[in-house]
Amino acid sequence: MSSEVQLKVLVTRPVGRIPATINALAACCITAVCDPMLTIEPLANSGVEIPTCQALAITSVAAAELLGNYVSDVTIPIYAVGDTTAKTALQHGFRNVRSAQGDVLTLVDLIASVADPSSGRLLHLGSEEVAGDLVETLRVRGFCAEHVGIYRVREATTFLSSTISAFKGGEVGGVLFFSPRSARTFVRLVNLQQHTFSLRRVTAVCLSTAVAHETETAGWEKILISEQPTMVSLIESVSALGKRQRGDDRV
């Protein structure tokens, strides 16, 4: 029987995204425990009005998953911030989807390169609580742009008891963060614990620099940033961390 130490990580994603993440980690021989920092609640269709527009912009997987609840035209142009968001929209039946493969700034660049400001307004569909400056940046570039909220985000108010026990027992070697808000929520909950456990031997693995910024005050052993803002790239970062923990000199 192998005595090799296996890395265990905490997954903080919303419930709907956890199975795919666990499967990807398991393929890399990494064990996952889960404690969602955010809960996604779709807004009632009757309370959401989607104005006539030339195209939609989406910056979250949640928005891509919910598009079909509010938009009936599957041929409308959709500009997605990254490949995972774009793939999700395609999986939900939308046919005209482009990925910016990056962040809000690359998304604006993509839109500006293919859309015509004179062809009508652009709509950003996302959380009812506006985050970031996509709409304002598009307006600076000459577009008529609006934000429409199609879901509500609820932040966790406490850790699961199993999460606290895992940290206290030194079982968790890494925490995965896919969004600034989930990272910010995690750090807030850590502070509420009043130092009942330490993160000094735990690594934060973050999807982007913006996500990493929200984790900086938590007292980690280290903070890793994915080379690309995709789940595949983030899982590769976690896999490399697991190999280092096992003493694999091929890393």
Counted domains in the chain: 2
Full domain range(s) for residue 29: 8-37+156-246
Same domain, 145 and 173: no
Same domain, 166 and 242: yes
Q: Burial letters for 49-65: b for 16+ Cβ neighbours within 10 Å, e otherwise?
A: ebeebbbbbbbbbbbbb
User: Which residues does 58 contact at the CB level (< 8 Å), separation at least 6?
Assistant: 64, 67, 78, 79, 80, 81, 85, 89, 124, 125, 126
pTM of the model: 0.84
Within a domain: 2 = no
At 197-224, the pLDDT tens digits run: 999 999 999 999 999 999 999 999 999 9
At 90-149, the pLDDT tens digits run: 999 999 999 999 889 999 999 999 999 999 999 999 999 876 689 999 999 999 999 999
From 170, 239, 171, select the one nearest 205 (Cα to Cα): 239
